[in-house]
Homo-oligomer: A and B are copies of this chain.
C-alpha cells in the first residue's frame, strides 16, 4: 500500500517534470532554428549542413522521446513463487500433555531442532550443560527417540515444533 502510493506519486511528479522538459525543449528548438536561420542567411552555409544539423538534432530528440515514452510502461511479469508460508505454527498441546512433556523440555527440543549443541543451548538458557542433558534425556524418553535427530523428526511429526 505504501509502496503503491509512493509509486503513483512518483509517476505524477515525473510526468510534470517531463512536460516542463518538453516545453523548455520546444523553446530551445525555436531559438536554435532562429539562430541557425540567421547564421545561414549571414554566413551562407550550405543547405546540407543546415539540414544535417536539424536532422541530427531532431533524430536525437526523437530517440530520446521514444525512450522516455516507452520507459514508463515496463512489462511486469508476475512470477508465482511457492513459499512454505503455511499458517502460523501452533503447538499440539493435546499431544504435549499426553506425552507429559514439560514447557522447558519442549523449549529445549526446539533448540535442538534449531541445530544447537547442548553447550550452546546451555549458554542460551543460562543453565548448565548437565541440565540441558537431563532435559533432553527426558524428552527423548517421552518421545521414544534414541538420538536427537530422531527426536527432531518425531517432534515435527507430532506437531510439537515447526
Residue positions of A touching B, CB distance < 8 A: 29, 33, 36-37, 40, 47-48, 50-52, 54-71, 74-87, 112-117, 145-154
Partner of A83, one of B40, B50, B82, B152: B82
Distance between Cα atoms of A55 and B77 in the complex (Å): 36
Distance between Cα atoms of A84 and B88 in the complex (Å): 11
Min C-beta distance of A98 to chain B, whole Å: 18
Distance between Cα atoms of A67 and B85 in the complex (Å): 41
Output the nearest chain B residue to A60 by Cβ-Cβ distance: B62
Partner of A82, one of B76, B87, B153, B154: B87
Distance between Cα atoms of A114 and B40 in the complex (Å): 84
Distance between Cα atoms of A144 and B87 in the complex (Å): 29
Known contacts being A47-B40, A54-B58, A61-B59, is A113 close to B149, with CB within 8 Å? Answer: yes
